[in-house]
Structure 1
């Protein structure tokens, strides 16, 4: 309306349409001092506005109060902007707090990862040392297996010789039996035949001595093989069993040889008695025939045992060669594992460096977040 229409109105009526309302202008006049504040004002159109009110009393030259001057300033957009900034600052503060927690967790995880990497690196170094020890042990075992294979091959050749000698002795015994049968059928040539039998018995004794020597050598080889198997540990257990069986067979051979020696001695004694006592030649010849037959049976058993011994020793040699090949493959595998362990140790070192970089970045991130948090709090506007 027209300005003169508002002359004499109270400020409460003018601004708020409320005659009884005390305004800042009223307070300034009462206090005779400036007043200021922010108020929420609803326009006639119903729009909500925030206004900054400043009122100052004024006086005449004599100090008499004349009235007050009031300034209204619309700060709605400013306060709305301040509110949005405060809300954004709150969101930033929350995000900074969460980021600080994440950075703290990341730093802790990096430290834990570094500890685990250090443990893994130490374990890898220890593993490489143990792998090297294993490789050395495998090489030593391989050398022992090769030695066992060579000894087994030698034992196989000796067993073959034993078999051949036993077969020869068996043949000699068969010839002795035939000779005795001829002596029994030709009593008139008893003396000559008995001498021949004595000579043949001596030949059998020499053969038995040879068989005894061979059995001693077989027993010694079996003992050496058992020692080598014991050195080989778990891998040589089966070989030790076979070597023990070879030793037992050698002892049986020696026992059988002793029996043959006893039989040959009996033949020689019987031959001497028959030479001196021609009248009892028939009975003595029969006794000699039985003894020689027993000797043939013993030699047949020796042949059988010798064949089995040769087969078993050849099997031992083959198994030792196969074990040597397997040991070589183990050596190659251990070398490959050692290489992989070295690569793993190198990768652990690189990973440790990366983890330290991550920890440094997390620390820098926390510093940035800290500076962000300290500068993001709500600030009042003037």
Structure 2
């Protein structure tokens, strides 16, 4: 049952359900755990029993195979059998094989073969004759090849042997020469595989005594091929059969190493007792559930009847508002205590309703008086707000006019400041110009002095040039005299004449260079004199310009003083206008604050009106609530 469906049940149904669950749930859980535990124990017992039967079958078959293999090997070592193969006389070997078959009835026949696969001796002549002409088939048989290699094989056990006409286990052992160890032939002992049924008969009888008719035993190869089934042709096949198996291990070497011995049963038959027990338990649990549900219903009915009566009284109070009705209490349990508490609550509610009705009348009258006072106060504040709004508009206009005056005073102040800066800049520039002119005058005076000194040095160079010219003339004369003396000297004076000629040439060049230097000095002197004249004229003009600059400087200083005085006056005017603007702004802010306060007062008054209206509504509602009960 889902939780929403449980929520739709009444108290009686929920109590019945909960009590039933509390009573039955532990029983169901314990029964379920016990049934599962019992089934698990039964499964463990069945599996253990099947495992024991499989192990027993494995041990029996393994012991039987080991015994048969040992017997076959001992028969292959018989001296008469060896002698028969050596001499080719087989009367004695036929007698030996016939006697062995009579003693060991589990073998269907014994045959002696040569190395070429020819049957030469057998337990019966008919058996020997049945192998005539099959030498090649014998040589290719798996059991024959295994015997030549010295071991046994069960490869041919999965099919019926055509010679013996049944399923046999070919146990073949080599016949060896006693001294040389040479292989003489192969002895075959055909073990009747149907004898396994005799081996498992005891296990099947034990299962029948336990009423387990479906018990069966199987023998399979390692690959799963079926070798033996105790059920025979009427084998039943159950997909979920209960089975246990044992594997023939290599601990004891035999032909059945790796075989799987399986014991199995039908689960319906094995677990029939458990299923019957489970069915009986289920019936008992259902009976307990029915009894627990009936007891829970009676218990819930006894609990919910007083609550139902109390519910009817409560519903009448809610629907009709009748607080005059009485409730009878008949029980002394928790439900009776709840009913007494409810009666007391109704009495208290009656007294509360009477007090509420009296209070609502007083509250209604008080709200009416508050409404009249609020309306009168709203009318007065409305008139004050209109006058304040007109005053605020006037203050706004004054503030705008003051702001315009302040802006214009600021503009004049900026212009005066610019004029003051220009005056200061002009005076500074004039002062710098006068300093530059004075510096230029000093440089011109110094240049005049330098030109004078240059003229003097040029005159000195002219004197030096005249001296050099005189020396050149004298050298020329001396060279001429030397040339004359050289001519007089004849051959001895030719070298001296050449030297005198060169000296004369140099003297002539010096005279020409001196003349050129003199011309250049004359030109330089004239240029210097012209420069001196121009310097003197520039100096005179510079003196005149310097005088005019001094006059302009004095005028500029006077103008700067006037601008400074105007600047101070404008600054005072601007400060006065700024102070006036600040005062007007404070007046406007005060008007704005006053307007804000008036607005807040209006909002508060409106809130008071809303509260009064809400109180009126609450009073009305309280009056309606108080009137909804009869006291």
- Normalised TM-score (structure 2): 0.28
Please say which structure displays the higher CA radius of gyration: 2
TM-score by length of 1: 0.44
Q: Larger relative contact order (C-alpha < 8 A, sep ≥ 6)?
A: 1
Q: Greater helix percent: which structure? A: 1
